[in-house]
A = this chain, B = another copy of it.
Amino acid sequence: MAAAAMSAEELQRRLHAEFPEAFNPSSGLYIEHLEYGACRVRRKFDPSTLRPGGTISGPTMMALADVAMYVVVLGAIGWAPLAVTTQLNIHFLRKPAPGDLLADARLLRLGKRSAVGEVTVRSDGEEAPVAHATSAYSIPE
């Protein structure tokens, strides 16, 4: 297991500083673990993310998967804010009950110009995933 290009705390601090719309105390996003090629991001429960029926909405899971991919890519290549998602595919597997969500991202391939990873999203404390995503990233030169 190689070391990440920066620590979880350092990356979280920079994301908060430079992406204040997405990463701020009210967005409820926390990098819980970061190593080279893998990370875990927590999304604290927010009642405004519920949809009718009382489960957490799809766009909430999509946004979390996208953030987790960004974190695992930056954790491997270092601070490169202009890295951008080029594609994301997500399967919604189960409806998440109200509560925190955990996203575990893992790189499948890291090249010079692009990266591909997968993200498994679970409700905190549950084993069965609520969503699974794969995503491609473009890395600036």
Interface residues of A in 67-111 (CB under 8 A from B): 81-82, 84-95, 108-109
Number of copies: 4
B92 touches A118 (CB 8 A): no
Contacts A58-B85, A62-B62 given; does A91 touch B50 at CB 8 Å: no
Q: Mark A112-141, 1 if CB is under 8 A from B, else 0.
A: 011010100000000011001010101000
Enumerate chain B residues within 8 angstroms of A22, measured Cβ to Cβ: 51, 57, 59
Interface check A52, CB cutoff 8 A: yes
The 8 closest A-B pairs by CB, nearest first: A59-B63, A89-B89, A93-B109, A62-B62, A91-B116, A87-B91, A58-B85, A108-B132
